[in-house]
Chains A and B, each alone.
Chain A
């Protein structure tokens, strides 16, 4: 029975032969090489890339929040600047008004001073004129009156009296 069975068994391709062990070893070697040298680096590369992508996303988020913070700061600074500008404008207006007021006061003081000065000058001139008139009008009037009345009015005392009386009348009239 056994000798009869052997011949067809050898040709039956469903029954394994020595090749089985060769295949076993071959696949074992392949599995070892792939598992030790090929697959771990690929896994590492995949992990590294995922990490890189995650890191980039984190960076992106960070950059975004930073940009938002910067924008916020920028806005607040703009608001500050606007506020500052308004304050400066207000101050300038106040200062201008103060300067104008001061200048006006100065001008008025100056004007008052000039007017005062002018008044004093006029007064002095008038006094000088009056003095001068007093000196000359007497002589002129005496000469004139002497010529008209033919009477000598050479007397010093009389002459002065007449002139004084005339001037007093003149002043009283004015």
Chain B
């Protein structure tokens, strides 16, 4: 493997343009736009064929897809936040669909022995995952401060013991980094796998290609799901305990942390990240 990499594969290589003294990865931006447009098309297709006005209320297929996600996210948000929050639910839904389409872009095939994908997944670029994590965590912190007040929110860092302050701060900083890098790592690894499979001679390549792309499709769903779920759980953790009983809140908070940790563990196990 180490012998192959210098020959064909350029890891983390992007088509770059300089503008305003900053570097822009054009390929990532293009595939982001493609994914975003696809999500919007699907969304507007669903709303155009909405059945709320018809007599029998039978949903169309696209509507069922959206209702599945929207319903599930609404349920999660309601379970964890106590109500369907007007910002958290759309955020999680948007994250899910956007990440899902970004991840799946990689599955679109191209000419043989190129990269095996027409567009690189924009989620295989840390710029996108950092951006999503930043949106999530800034929203989470804002939500937490709004729910508990500035004093109440920062008091939470001294609980259960003041000694744990550094750990609590560290936790808040690790959350966005893990969010971003988990998604990036999984999808990036998928891209590397595709590139490696592309090095296999054509007569033998199709089998691992199909298998890996099928697997990658599932990983794409899982990663999108994990990102959206963790977002909801982080909101829940940030807003926990502002009205509830103290011990009850602690218990719930712990449960949420446990759930989040489990979800993260599941997602990390899902992809065997190749060495790089």
Contacts and interface: CB of A to CB of B under 8 A. Distances in A.
Interface of A: 10-24, 26-31, 33-35, 37-39, 41-46, 48-49, 52-53
B276 to A, nearest CB: 10
B36 A29 contact: yes
Interface string B131-158: 1101100000000000000000000000
Nearest to A28: B135
Contacts of B93: 34, 39
B126 A43 contact: no
Interface of B: 11-12, 14, 19-20, 22-25, 28-29, 32-33, 36, 39-40, 43-44, 46-47, 50-52, 57, 59, 63, 66-67, 70-71, 74, 87, 89-91, 93-94, 97-98, 122, 125-128, 130-132, 134-135, 181
Nearest to A33: B40
A2 to B, nearest CB: 16
Contact of B57 (A14, A34, A52): A52
Nearest to B26: A19
B124 to A, nearest CB: 9
A74 to B, nearest CB: 32
A49 B52 contact: yes
B90 A10 contact: no
Contacts of A10: 23
Contacts of B70: 39, 42-43, 46
The binding surface of chain A is classed by DSSP as: helix
B98 A48 contact: no
A30 B90 contact: no
Contact of B52 (A20, A22, A45): A45
B6 to A, nearest CB: 15
Contacts of B122: 23
Contacts of A12: 12
Nearest to B53: A48
Contacts of B98: 27, 30
Of B28, B46, B47, B87, most buried by chain A (CB within 10 Å of CB) is B47
